[in-house]
Amino acid sequence: MVSHASISRKIFVVCNYVFLMALSLLCVLPLVHIFAVSLSSGAAASAGIVKLWPVEFTTAAYQNIFDKPQYFTAFWVSVKRVLLGTGINLLLTITAAYPLSKDSSYFRPRTVYVWIFVITMLFSGGLIPWFMTIKATGLMDSIWALVLPSAVPVFNVILLLNFFRSLPKELEESARIDGAGHFMILWKFYVPLSLPALATITLFSMVGHWNSWFDGLILMNNPDNYPLQTFLQTIVISKDPRFLSAQEAELLLQMSDRTSTAAQIYVAALPILLVYPFLQRFFVKGIVMGSVKE
Amino acid sequence: MKKRLLKMGLSIALVSALSFMTACGGNSSNQPQGETSAPTEKTGETPTDPMAKYDPPIELTTIRSVSNIKFDEGESIDKNAVYDAYEKDLGIKIKNSWVSDKYSEKLKISIASNNIPDFFRVSASELQELQEADMIADVTDIFDKYATPKTKEWFNLDGGRQLSTATFDNRLMAFPATDNPYNSSSYLWIRKDWLEKLGLPKPQTMQDVIKIAEEFTKQDPSGTGKTYAFALNSDYINGGAYDLQGFFNGYHAYPGIWVKDSSGKLMFGTIMPEMKQALKQLQDMYKAGMIDPEFAVKDQDKENELVVAGKIGIAYGAFWQSIWPLQSAAVQNGKLAQDWEAYPIVSIDDNPAKTATGIGVDSYFVVSKKAKHPEAVMKIINKWIEIQTSSRDDNKVYMFGKSEVDKSALLWKINPTVFFAQDENLPAGKLLPKAIEAKDPSLLGTNPEINLRYKRVQQYLAGDLNMWNEWAISKPGGSFAIMNQYDQEKRYQVDEFYGTLTPAMLEMKGILGEKTKETFTKIIMNKVSVDEFDKFVEEWKKLGGEQMTKEANEWYETVKK
Amino acid sequence: MLKFLRNERLPLHLMLLPSLAILAVYSYWPMAGIVIAFEKYIPTKGIFGSPWVGWRNFEYLFNLPDTKRVFVNTLLIASMKIIAGLIVPIFVALLLNEVRKTMFKRTFQTLVYLPHFLSWVILGGILIDLLSPSNGLVNQTLGIFGVQPIFFLGDNNWFRFILVSSDVWKEFGFSTIVYLAALTGINPTLYEAASIDGANRIRQMWHVTLPGIMPIAILMVTLSIGNVLNAGFDQIFNLYSPPVYESGDIIDTLVYRLGILQSQYGLATAVGLLKSTVSLIMIACSYFMAYRFANYRIF
């Protein structure tokens, strides 16, 4: 692309960089602060004197998490859940978004179908019926309880169907003329052409699965089946001072709720944070047209 | 009550192997429990052995949380020496339906989906809900027949008040998790080092406290340029730490509990005219900059930042306030940085200030209506009471696990039912200061808790500042000693209402509590005039307070007789 | 006709089948539980056996003290969040689109998406510090310009502004991702054509980029309109206090504070049903208006 570099353009570019850098700083500083808190002593944290660097450095908050053997089983449950859950989500999202992306002149029932999907996004019977349904289908204490009930992410389906609609129609038509069926068209054209969109919904699915903790708590009766976030939610430092043993009182000095929650954020979020930069390589501009030209 | 105890003792003397056979045989039928007045025994008059062992063993399901227990190697909440001991001694296998440290969240689902275990711990409102939904067994007769004399004595030490909070229409529907009411009493914690620095006497009256607060703010002993007098958190009415209950009590106002008014009727302490005077004083102090202007958005941890930074000198709170949060302020960098000391709360006039306390029960053990052996729960409870009241060696496993040595691992928490004495900690306030002064641990008696506290005080005296919090509690003149002093001087204002929650209370308590907090906070922060209090009282009555008071008094009539 | 259907459209139905099956079991079946909103739910009697109370749960809800204030606050805060949550991510995506350095772009994206993973419990503490009138960073900075300290979290004039801006701050990076994905779909030849026509960068942004992401933007706003009664419980709960109830108290916080949801499932379901119905009306209206006036199907 030819650049018409003018003075005003240069000023814009510089301002743009400065603004974006300031913005990212604004987002990072609180995280640095939280990281510093997680590595500070409970006393320092409760004094509120930790800024961007740990005070009275200690890893007690992390140790308190890692010392529990449950951490590793919970981590494994989470990994399984994300892999299984995202896989199923992705499969169902793609297969549902494709027919729904068809024009109603071609696929008349699509509008009815779309609303069947949308309604589920808006209405729910509440916690108790939801729980009883899952119990009735025999999923309690199984990994499927965390995966199946949320197997159709309607928000993602709608997002993807919009992306599908914006794909050039010529390709599909020529393929149809060559005798390709819907499954073939979906697999050969739609999927490869929508990688950025698929990367986006994959990310949403993974983050969603990784972060949810309440369903794990309600649907697992044995704490050994807790996913990581549920497990972390249950680590609370007892503040019932009457029953504080000598050891606990000491532990409370080294760490506090605040350092502990701060550490949890890092323990919990780090694995999922690493996913995004990896998925970013699918965000290549002009990928659609590039492949059309071939 | 005495008579019933005596009868009970006699029937126990008549215990036979036969009766024990009927005890378990009679219950294995599927006959629903609790619907008839004599649910557990068809034979009625047959004397029963409260501690008879089940053979073959039976199974009881329950639900648990495991907060902070340090299990022995290879043990867990599902499988451990304590559960084994119950099976060995009583023939009762305890099985956990689920285990979670988010107990109340999970319990709610279990109740709502009609999926409850044989016995479990609930809160007062959950008890009410279960009772209304007809899900729990009437344990009146089980208590009569199967509670040992010791157990009955344990539950009736306070004259049966705690029991009556679980009694609906004269039927006992749950076992209150007994505890002492004194734990919620208030203390006035002040920085003694500042008092000395400014040459101020220790507080004897509310006027002294106000004077001390003024001096702290004016003279800025912290040297930071901004010293506040009071530590206050957003939940200041019943916070336990950094709250104002003790301050209000100094004005003879008792927010949150029921008191008798001049005509002998029950009145809710929150709307007492004395509250207005106290709020006025708080507003004046707020205006004078003696209170952290941001207290309304701060919880105790957040407010504690100011305390740790040395900007605050007075903090009303519970006896344990030295453990949390004050310890973190008092001991900094291995030195005693702030010397906090507990004082008895003080009064605005010549009448001594009384400290407001609740009934002392905040949870209950209930038995499912579907439980096949409801009386087995009573046996488990009997066992716990026996462990607490006798120092038999073979009971040590229940307190300390398989090693039977005290490792302060909190293994006693594994017991599925836990009760505390209704006068717990009062003996501690008597014994500990004496023993510490005399340096004679033999004065302590056998209570393991008291002995542990003595040990911790000795550690403090040997230079371990981590034990400062224990010193502040147990030392001569510490908060335990004051707790005892309150008792001796009859300065406990115990909640006069100890029935089960009335319909209006259930429905309106949340709304009224919120209205209260909103109005009081605005008054303290000088957003509205103190006269808003009068309007609030009217509104409070209209919003359901009047109805609540009426129902409370109807109940009161029934117990006065 | 039958043959045609079998050949061409049957696969489309087949593709939808697994999803519909899942939705039938895990969404539509439990939806029967909505009847609880009209009952006094009793666990032993179950969903269909509990006593019927008609509209009483809704009446109770509307007769709570301060109901009006709370509804107004909810609508106001939620709408402001929806609008700001639409504009800011698009704005950032457009600016980012102008950046040529891939490394910078990727780093930026990763950094701004981080706050999404923080909880309001922890952010609440940080905001109280930052906004403190006595020693908060914000007031200290303002102090340099001679501004008197402002108690942002205790001032009804500021509280909503703080809610909206901190929410935008937390979520804009995450929402930007969708627009970045949409940007990749824009045909580069359109830019080339525009630049040959002599359009400068701003005009290109206006005439090519913005229309390119418009469908997604419309979709996002339609879906978020469904949240017009969800003003963000976690956030407000961790930031508010009695002095700002007037401007910050919303349905969810009120209902929580009053503790009326403790075990009153009828009431809880009624609140949910109310929100769902309003959402459905809002979304359906936008959908049919877009279809009628622009002949455009949002989804």
What does each C-alpha distance from A282 to A158, A167, B102, C93 come to in angstroms? Answer: 20, 17, 40, 16
pTM above 0.95, yes or no: no
Is residue C19 one of the residues assigned to a domain? no
Whether pLDDT at B239 is above 80: no
Q: Which residues on chain C are in Cβ contact (under 8 Å) with A114? A: 299
DSSP B421-434: -TTTTHHHHHHHHH
Mean pLDDT, residues A83-94 = 97
Q: What is the ipTM of this complex?
A: 0.89
Q: What is the 3-state secondary structure (H, E, C) of C20-34?
A: HHHHHHHHHHHHHHH
- List, for residues B259-294, the tens digit of each pLDDT value: 999 999 999 999 999 999 999 999 999 999 999 999
Instruction: Identify which of B97, B113, B466 has the shortest CB distance to residue A131.
Output: B113
- List, for residues C128-176, the tens digit of each pLDDT value: 888 988 878 899 899 999 899 999 999 999 999 999 999 999 999 989 9
Q: What is the pLDDT of residue B126?
A: 92
What's C117's DSSP letter? G
Instruction: Please say whether the beta carbons of C153 and C128 come within 8 A.
Output: yes
Instruction: Provide long-range contacts, Cβ within 8 A and 24+ apart, for C279-286.
Output: C279/A122, C279/C225, C279/C226, C279/C227, C279/C228, C279/C229, C280/A119, C280/A122, C280/A123, C280/C226, C282/C225, C282/C226, C282/C228, C283/A118, C283/A122, C283/C222, C283/C223, C283/C225, C283/C226, C286/C222, C286/C225
Enter the tokens of residue A109: 């029932």
Which amino acid is located at B436 in the chain?
A: I
What totals of helices (H) and strands (E) does chain C contain, helices first?
17, 0
R_g (Cα) of chain B, nearest Å: 25
A45-54, A229-238, B207-216: which has the highest mean pLDDT?
Answer: B207-216
- What is B12-180+360-414's CATH superfamily? Periplasmic binding protein-like II (3.40.190.10)
- List, for residues B436-456, the tens digit of each pLDDT value: 999 999 998 877 778 888 988
Which of A68, A245, A248 has the most B C-beta neighbours within 10 Å, making it the best mutation to test the interface with B?
A245
- C-alpha A234: how far from chain center: 21
Cα(A114)–Cα(A103) distance, integer angstroms: 12
Is residue C237 one of the residues assigned to a domain? yes
Mean pLDDT, residues B501-513 = 86
Q: What is the pLDDT of residue A241?
A: 59
Please confirm whether the linkage preceding C89 is cis (ω < 30° from 0): no
**CB contact (8 A) between residue C43 and residue B133:** yes
- List, for residues C194-216, the tens digit of each pLDDT value: 888 888 888 888 888 898 888 89
Residue C163 forms contact with B (CB below 8 Å)? no
Nearest chain B residue to C151 by CA distance is: B294
Cα B123–B126–B129 angle (5° rounding)? 155
Q: Is A242 exposed, middle or buried (0-12, 13-18, 19+ CB in 10 A)?
A: middle
Cα(B221)–Cα(B217) distance, integer angstroms: 8
Instruction: Identify which of A48, A223, A245 has the shortest CB distance to residue B100.
Output: A223
Enter the tokens of residue A203: 């990310």
- List, for residues A241-269, the tens digit of each pLDDT value: 555 555 556 666 666 777 888 888 888 88
Q: What is the pLDDT of residue A171?
A: 79
B184-357+495-559, what's its fold?
D-Maltodextrin-Binding Protein; domain 2 (3.40.190)
Cα(B549)–Cα(B553) distance, integer angstroms: 6
Cα(C4)–Cα(B79) distance, integer angstroms: 65
- List, for residues B349-366, the tens digit of each pLDDT value: 999 999 999 999 989 999
Helix, strand, coil in percent for chain C, rounding step 5: 75, 0, 25
Whether pLDDT at B511 is above 50: yes
**CB contact (8 A) between residue C243 and residue B517:** no
Q: Which residues on chain A are in Cβ contact (under 8 Å) with C273? A: 123
Helix (H, G, I), strand (E, B) or coil at B418: coil
Whether pLDDT at B95 is above 80: yes
Residue B9 confidence class, pLDDT cut points 50, 70, 90: very low
Q: What are phi and psi of B259, to 5 degrees?
A: -130, 165
Q: Which residues on chain B are in Cβ contact (under 8 Å) with C259? A: 509-510
Helix (H, G, I), strand (E, B) or coil at B336: strand
Q: Which residues on chain C are in Cβ contact (under 8 Å) with A132? A: 30, 47
Q: What is the pLDDT of residue B42?
A: 42
- Of residues B407, B339, B373, the one with CA closest to residue B194: B339
Q: How far is C224 from chain A (nearest CA, A)?
A: 11
Give first-to-last CA distance, chain C, whole Å: 28
Residue B30 confidence class, pLDDT cut points 50, 70, 90: very low
Q: Delimit the CATH 3.40.190.10 region(s) of chain B.
A: 12-180+360-414, 184-357+495-559
Average pLDDT for chain A: 86
Instruction: Please say whether the beta carbons of C163 and C236 come within 8 A.
Output: yes
Is residue C30 one of the residues assigned to a domain? no
Instruction: Please say whether the beta carbons of B364 and B175 come within 8 A.
Output: yes
Q: Give, to the nearest 10 degrees, the angle between helix B103-112 and helix B124-132.
A: 10
Min mean pLDDT across A100-109, A282-291, B149-158, C3-12 is at A282-291
Residue B12 confidence class, pLDDT cut points 50, 70, 90: very low
Q: Which residues on chain C are in Cβ contact (under 8 Å) with A148? A: 22, 26
- C-alpha B156: how far from chain center: 17
Q: How many residues does chain C have?
A: 299
Q: Give, to the nearest 10 degrees, the angle between helix B479-488 and helix B426-438.
A: 120
Mean pLDDT, residues B24-38 = 38
- What is the CATH classification number for the domain harbouring C142? 1.10.3720.10
Enter the tokens of residue A46: 């409760």
Helix, strand, coil in percent for chain B, rounding step 5: 50, 15, 40
Nearest chain B residue to A251 by CA distance is: B466
**CB contact (8 A) between residue A126 and residue C22:** no
- List, for residues C254-290, the tens digit of each pLDDT value: 888 876 656 788 888 999 999 999 999 999 999 999 8
- Of residues B284, B230, B276, B286, the one with CA closest to residue B253: B276
Q: Which residues on chain A are in Cβ contact (under 8 Å) with C192? A: 1
Which of A19, A93, A94, A95 has the most C C-beta neighbours within 10 Å, making it the best mutation to test the interface with C?
A95
Instruction: Please say whether the beta carbons of A290 and C187 come within 8 A.
Output: no
Enter the tokens of residue C264: 């009153």
Instruction: Please say whether the beta carbons of C219 and A159 come within 8 A.
Output: yes
Q: What is the domain range of residue C239? A: 68-294
More confident residue, B21 or B40: B40
Average pLDDT for chain B: 88
Instruction: Identify which of C42, C242, C259 has the shortest CB distance to residue B518.
Output: C242
Nearest chain A residue to C43 by CA distance is: A128
Q: What is the pLDDT of residue A167?
A: 86
Q: Which residues contact A280 (CB under 8 A, 6 or more apart)?
A: A199, C106, C109, C110
Cα(B325)–Cα(B312) distance, integer angstroms: 13
Average pLDDT for chain C: 89
**CB contact (8 A) between residue C153 and residue B515:** no
Q: What are phi and psi of B466, to 5 degrees?
A: -60, -20
Whether pLDDT at B154 is above 70: yes
Q: Which residues on chain B are in Cβ contact (under 8 Å) with A46? A: 301, 304-305, 308, 325, 328
Q: What is the pLDDT of residue A6?
A: 77
Q: Which residues contact A171 (CB under 8 A, 6 or more apart)?
A: A189, A193, A292
- Of residues B155, B266, B254, the one with CA closest to residue B555: B266
Whether pLDDT at A236 is above 90: no
Which amino acid is located at C299 in the chain?
A: F
Q: How far is B104 from chain A (nearest CA, A)?
A: 11
What's B52's DSSP letter? P
Q: How far is C242 from chain B (nearest CA, A)?
A: 5
Min mean pLDDT across A91-100, B139-148, B251-260, B331-340 is at B331-340
Nearest chain A residue to C188 by CA distance is: A286
More confident residue, B51 or B342: B342
Q: How far is C50 from chain B (nearest CA, A)?
A: 10
Q: Which residues on chain B are in Cβ contact (under 8 Å) with A127? A: 109, 112
Whether pLDDT at A284 is above 50: yes
Q: How far is A131 from chain B (nearest CA, A)?
A: 8
Cα C166–C167–C171 angle (5° rounding)? 120
Count Cα neighbours of A265 within 13 Å in the Cβ-side half-sphere: 25
Could you give the number of structural domains in chain C?
1
Mean pLDDT, residues C102-124 = 89
Is residue C196 one of the residues assigned to a domain? yes
Find residues 6-35 of chain C whose CB sits inside 8 Å of chain A: 8-9, 11-13, 15-16, 18-20, 22-23, 25-34
Q: How far is C117 from chain A (nearest CA, A)?
A: 7
Q: Any bridge partners for residue B187, and if so which? A: B317
Instruction: Identify which of C114, C180, C269 has the shortest CB distance to residue A27.
Output: C114
Instruction: Identify which of C19, C34, C283 has the shortest CB distance to residue A152.
Output: C19
Q: What is the pLDDT of residue B58?
A: 96
**CB contact (8 A) between residue A249 and residue B469:** yes
Q: How far is B554 from chain A (nearest CA, A)?
A: 35
Cα(C223)–Cα(C225) distance, integer angstroms: 5
Q: How far is A286 from chain C (nearest CA, A)?
A: 5
Which of B61, B66, B67 has the most A C-beta neighbours within 10 Å, making it the best mutation to test the interface with A?
B67
Instruction: Identify which of A98, A261, A276 has the shortest CB distance to residue C110.
Output: A276
Q: What is the pLDDT of residue B11?
A: 35
Q: What is the pLDDT of residue C262?
A: 65
Q: How far is B322 from chain A (nearest CA, A)?
A: 9
Helix (H, G, I), strand (E, B) or coil at B240: coil
- CA trace torsion B522, B525, B530, B532 (10° rounding): -10
Instruction: Identify which of A20, A122, A162 has the shortest CB distance to residue C299.
Output: A162
Is residue C44 one of the residues assigned to a domain? no
Mean pLDDT, residues A135-163 = 95
- List, for residues C22-61, the tens digit of each pLDDT value: 999 999 999 999 999 999 999 999 999 999 999 999 998 8
Q: What is the 3-state secondary structure (H, E, C) of B353-414?
A: CCEEECCCCCEEEEEECCCCCHHHHHHHHHHHHHHHHCCCHHHHHHHHCCCCCCCCCCHHHH
